[in-house]
Structure formats: C-alpha cells, structure tokens
Structure 1
Amino acid sequence: MNDTIEKGKTIAITSYILVVGALIAMSMNSENKNPYASFHIRQALGLSILFVAIGYTLSGFWNPMIVYPFWIFMSVLWGYGLFTAISGQMRPIPLVGGLFQKVFKNL
C-alpha cells in the first residue's frame, strides 16, 4: 500500500490545483490507474465543480455576509484535501467527500 501511495502522491497533489490540476491529474492517471491518485482526483474534481457551481450562483450577490463564508468554506475543504494528499491519507473531504466518491466512481 505504501508503494501505491508514493507512486500516486504527485498525481494526487497535482489534482488539487483547481480545475486545471484535476484535468491534468486525470490524464496523468489514465494509463496506469493508481487507486490513491484516483481517490484524490475524485475529491479534487468534485471540489472544483462545487466551487464553480456555488461561485456562479453567488456571483450575482456582492454581500460580504454571503461571499466571505463561501470562500472560507471552500478554502478549508481544499486545504483539508490537499493536506490528506500530502500526508498519504485517503480520507474523504468532510460533508461532500463521500458523495464525490460515489458520483465519480468511474474515474
């Protein structure tokens, strides 16, 4: 298992560079599927899509009481995912990680 984590760590960390990183990581992991990298790609892709969807919804508002909590919420989730990728753990992101694993199970 440690060998799988070490081989997939670079791909897993790359996946958390917003949407572009997730797409690059998907192409890096397409040939030799690494389970560790695939887990983090699903997490990062889900976070990127969630970020775009909620950001688009909130773009019509410019109320700091709405926008700032969104940025803090997304930053904490992103930081948690990146930290788990760096530390070699496969923990789903709180609140939404399990959903991302189910929705993107084919990646």
Structure 2
Amino acid sequence: METTTDNGKTVAIIAYIFLIGWIIALIMNNGNKTALGSYHIRQSLGIMCVGAILSIIAGVVSIWILSVIINLALITFWLLGFITALQGEMKPVPVLGEQFQEWFKGI
C-alpha cells in the first residue's frame, strides 16, 4: 500500500514521461492530491508549453542553431525536473520554474 508521500513521488516522476505521462499523473493526482505531485505536474506542464512555443518560433525563423540551443535547454530543464522528482524534492527548474508555479497554480 502506497503512502501519500509515495503516491506524490510516483505522480511527480510520471509527470515527466512525455505528454501521456503528464495526463496520467494529472488524473492520479486528482484522485489523491499531494503537494509534491502537483508541484511537478506544474513544472512539467511549464516545460512542455515553453518548449512548444520556442519550437514554433525557431521553426518560423528557420535558424537551425537556435533550434539546437532550444532543444538542449529543454532537455536540461527536463532532466533537472526529473531528477528533482526522483529525489522527492520541490526545486523549480531554472529561469521560469517559479513562474510555472504561479501560472498553473490552479492545477
């Protein structure tokens, strides 16, 4: 039987497994909300949203080096968030992590 802490950590980790993982984590968290799970669901959503917006911009301006830099930054942010979730900690990703918590506070 999972405790609330275990459930929160599981949700936090699943939130970083692509879009389908994020949806599963959101559903799991709605059934048994935890601060850790909610925190990482917001972080992951923020990374995905910023990634989508920056990818569109990079595609429009067609500068391949910009696209490479954006992808490297997104992978770095994803890894940092994922590692923090594995450790059961609530550390924001660099640059916009605190904003993600504010923007998506309804989740």
TM-score in terms of structure 1 length: 0.89
TM-score in terms of structure 2 length: 0.89
- Identity percentage over the alignment? 33
Calculate the aligned-residue CA RMSD, in Å: 1.4
Aligned to 1:35: 35
Unaligned runs of 5+ in 2: none
The residue identity in structure 2 corresponding to 1:21 is: G
CA contact (8 A) 1:12 1:25 kept: yes
CA contact (8 A) 1:4 1:35 kept: no
TM-superposed CA distance for 1:43, in Å, is 0.3
Aligned to 1:102: 102
Unaligned runs of 5+ in 1: none
Misfit runs of 4+, over 3 Å: none
1:16 correspondence with 2:16? yes
TM-superposed CA distance for 1:73, in Å, is 0.5
Aligned to 1:59: 59
* 1:20-69 per-position Cα deviation (integer Å, ceiling 9, x unaligned): 22222111111211111000000001111111111112123443321111
Give me the whole-angstrom Cα distance separating, in 2, the residues matched to 1:72 and 1:26. Answer: 26
